[in-house]
């Protein structure tokens, strides 16, 4: 469920010219961890696109870690749930630089309009 | 006052500063300001000196910071001191997101610096007589002349701080035939002779706000007073100014309710009946009223603070979008988004709460609070404006209802 959503998310991000503008010079690894199933993904953002989606934790000095239940993470990455609201409601734990969280919020806003 | 969440050091410092100002100056003159319908000029001066008039201007531009929760904490303190001062500050703060975002380097020096120095007070001049609380629809427009701009037909039915402000922030249609939300934004110095302030403010409450009408017609405005590109104005108004204004307005009414509550509590504890030698506080009905008031106040405060956290986050998003020149593209149609409707709903809850709480405060204080000059009587009158201030509670309810029912929003209907 989550993997397909992330693959779809990758496609949407990579084909969106506005997101390219926003993610210029932003090269983090986004680590997505489910806490109700043993799943972990690394979304590699590089050169204004998601260059790879790995089913493992690929370590990097610049990481943004997102942790939550699989259905919540799926809802975030298919646009049903706003990540900022989910974090505020305690449905999601986000670790990393605040600026990276903002980027993620913007991507969600550009793709799904809030 | 109880706090619903932990504050940052910055937020606590601002709150403390505002608390001291409110106790030292605002509360002391509130009665006189109400009685004489006098603009709280001295209070504004003190607030300016403290640096708090630049709340909302980011530190990167020389301001004290643009943390929305800090602004809100200051406003509640001001409102528990003097509602008129708080309302004038709110209308000033409502100008700052647009100004801070849109000014170019030269305008920064001319317009932002005096605000940062605590010397300038501004007014957000939005509501037009023609369209009232339908803030998405402007009739005033601008004509682009060679030497200057001319603002035409912009009749603002209420504008706080008239005659005492240094500038007006005025949105008008880009041209006579533009859509009502295709706007240009101007910072208009109050020194300009063509501005006509009409009459003298004599309101039922908020009597120190000097909120009478102002008319901009054949009003020549220098070229350097136009702010930003037109395509960004409506999105910024709806997504940056309006949310701040709505949580700010909610907070002013929260402060008014808190003040009435404090005064009512003090009154019922002191009011002792001679027959049974018991205070009014010992009457169960009074206790129930007090419980109700307290619950209503706390719930609104909690919602405001939660929304401010989201708003801080959202403002950072806006800044990134603006810097990437994507603001109009991305934000253009977000006004009906749940996030904004949640903020608008808080305005309704806060204004209804303030009317309700001040009414209950009158009830438990009895005849004493019906007499002109009692704090609770003043709060009762001050609280009444919230529900009619634009966007009125009724309009917000209709908009929320339309959203729930999947119907077009009013601003979508009016262009068809
Ligand atoms: C003390 C005070 C200070 C103010 N300061 C400022 C200021 O600084 N800047 C500024 O721009 N404005 C300011 N205002 C203006 C304020 O926002 C207006 O009062 C508001 O816009 C309402 O406009 P109106 O009085 O023309 O009411 P109207 O628009 O005539 O509305 C009257 C009532 O009709 C109902 N109504 C109207 N349209 C609808 C609709 N579509 N759906 C449902 N119900 C509807 C509502 O119940 C509303 O309350 C201030 C007002 C006050 C009282």
Top CATH class of B123-229 equals mainly beta
The CB of B88 under 6 Å from ligand 1? The reply is no
Give which of B4, B320, B333, B342 to mutate to test A binding, by max A Cβ within 10 Å: B320
pTM, rounded to two decimals: 0.91
Would you state the pLDDT for residue B10? 97
Would you state the pLDDT for residue B333? 60
Closest by Cβ to B306, choosing from A22, A88, A109: A88
Would you state the pLDDT for residue B61? 94
Beta-carbon contacts of B143 under 8 Å, excluding residues fewer than 6 positions away, are B149, B150, B152, B175, B176
Give which of B304, B317, B324, B336 to mutate to test A binding, by max A Cβ within 10 Å: B317
Helix (H) or strand (E) holding B404: helix B393-405
Would you state the pLDDT for residue B117? 97
Does the structure show a pLDDT above 70 at B413?
no
Which fold, A2-112? Nonspecific Lipid-transfer Protein; Chain A (3.30.1050)
- pLDDT per residue as tens digits for the range B311-350: 998 888 888 888 888 888 887 666 667 788 889 999 999 9
- Chain B contact residues (CB < 8 Å to A): 306, 309-310, 313-314, 316-317, 320-321, 324-326, 329-330, 333-334, 337-339
CB contact under 8 A, B330 and A110: yes
In the structure encoding, which two tokens stand for residue B52, read together? 């708090």
The CB of B392 under 6 Å from ligand 1? The reply is yes
| Per-chain mean pLDDT for chain B | 93
CB contact under 8 A, B310 and A84: yes
How many inter-chain contacts (A to B, CB under 8 Å) are there?
Answer: 43
- pLDDT per residue as tens digits for the range A3-19: 999 999 999 999 999 99
Does the structure show a pLDDT above 60 at B415?
no
What is the CATH number that goes with domain B231-413?
A: 1.20.140.10
In the structure encoding, which two tokens stand for residue A74, read together? 């799926």
Beta strands in B279-402 (DSSP E): none
Closest by Cβ to A21, choosing from B309, B326, B333: B326
Q: Which residue in chain A is spatially nearest to B330 when comparing CA positions?
A: A110
So where are chain A's domains?
A: 2-112
Cα separation, B373 vs B30, in Å, equals 10
Top CATH class of B9-122 equals mainly alpha
Mean pLDDT score, B151-167: 95
Would you state the pLDDT for residue B5? 61
So where are chain B's domains?
A: 9-122, 123-229, 231-413
Band of pLDDT at residue B416, cut at 50, 70 and 90: very low
- pLDDT per residue as tens digits for the range B241-275: 999 999 999 999 999 999 999 999 999 999 999 99
∠B66-B67-B70 over CA atoms, to 5°? 120
The CB-side HSE value for A5 (13 A sphere, CA atoms) comes to 15
Count the helix, strand and coil residues of chain A and give each as a percent rounded to the nearest 5: 40, 25, 30
* Assembly ipTM: 0.80
Task: From residue B205, give the alpha-carbon distance in Å to each of A80, B35, B156, B262, B323.
Answer: 44, 10, 19, 19, 42
Pairing verdict, β B214-216 and B154-156: antiparallel
């Amino acid at each position: 469920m989550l993997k397909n959503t992330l693959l779809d998310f990758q496609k949407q991000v990579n084909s969106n010219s506005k997101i390219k503008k926003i993610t210029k010079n932003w090269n983090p690894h986004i680590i997505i961890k489910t806490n109700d199933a043993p799943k972990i993904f690394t979304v590699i953002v590089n050169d204004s696109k998601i260059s790879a989606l790995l089913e493992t934790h690929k370590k990097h000095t610049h990481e943004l870690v997102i942790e939550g239940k699989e259905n919540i993470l799926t809802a975030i990455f298919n646009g049903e749930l706003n990540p900022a609201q989910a974090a505020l409601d305690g449905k999601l734990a986000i670790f990393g630089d605040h600026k990276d969280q903002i980027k993620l919020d913007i991507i969600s806003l550009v793709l799904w309009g809030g | 006052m109880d706090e619903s969440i932990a504050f940052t050091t910055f937020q606590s410092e601002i709150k403390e500063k505002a608390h001291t100002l409110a106790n030292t100056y605002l509360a002391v003159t509130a009665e006189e300001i109400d009685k004489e319908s006098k603009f709280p000029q001295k209070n504004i001066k003190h607030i300016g000196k403290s640096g708090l008039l630049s709340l909302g201007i980011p530190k990167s531009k020389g301001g004290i910071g643009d943390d929305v929760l800090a602004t809100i904490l200051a406003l509640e303190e001001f409102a528990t001191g003097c509602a008129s001062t708080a309302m004038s500050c709110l209308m000033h703060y409502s100008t700052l997101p647009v100004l801070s975002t849109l000014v170019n380097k030269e305008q920064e020096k001319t317009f932002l610096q005096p605000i940062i120095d605590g010397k300038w007070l501004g007014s957000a001049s939005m509501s037009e007589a023609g369209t009232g609380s339908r803030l998405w629809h402007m009739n005033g427009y601008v004509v682009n002349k060679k030497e200057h701009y001319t603002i035409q037909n912009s009749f603002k039915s209420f504008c706080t701080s008239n005659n005492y402000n240094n500038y007006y922030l005025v949105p008008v249609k880009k041209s006579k035939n533009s859509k009502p939300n295709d706007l240009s934004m101007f910072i208009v110095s109050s020194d300009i002779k063509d501005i006509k302030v009409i009459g003298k403010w004599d309101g039922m409450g908020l009597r120190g706000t000097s909120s009478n009408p102002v008319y901009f017609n054949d009003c020549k405005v220098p070229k350097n007073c136009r702010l930003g590109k037109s395509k960004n104005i409506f999105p910024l108004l709806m997504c940056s100014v309006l949310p701040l204004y709505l949580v700010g307005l909610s907070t002013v009414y929260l402060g008014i309710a808190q003040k009435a509550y404090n005064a009512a509590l003090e009154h019922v504890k002191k009011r002792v009946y001679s027959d049974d030698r018991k205070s009014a506080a010992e009457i169960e009905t009074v206790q129930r009223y007090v419980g109700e008031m307290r619950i209503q106040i706390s719930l609104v405060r909690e919602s405001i603070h939660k929304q401010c956290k989201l708003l801080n986050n959202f403002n950072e998003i806006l800044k990134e979008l603006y810097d990437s020149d994507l603001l109009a593209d991305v934000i253009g149609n977000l006004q009906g988004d749940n996030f904004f409707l949640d903020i608008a709903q808080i305005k309704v809850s806060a204004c209804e709460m303030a009317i309700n709480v001040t009414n209950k405060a009158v009830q438990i204080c009895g005849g004493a609070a019906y007499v002109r000059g009692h704090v609770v009587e003043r709060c009762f009158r001050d609280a009444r404006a919230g529900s009619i201030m634009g966007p009125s509670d009724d309009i917000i309810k209709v908009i929320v209802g339309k959203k729930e029912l999947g119907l077009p929003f009013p601003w979508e209907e009016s262009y068809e």
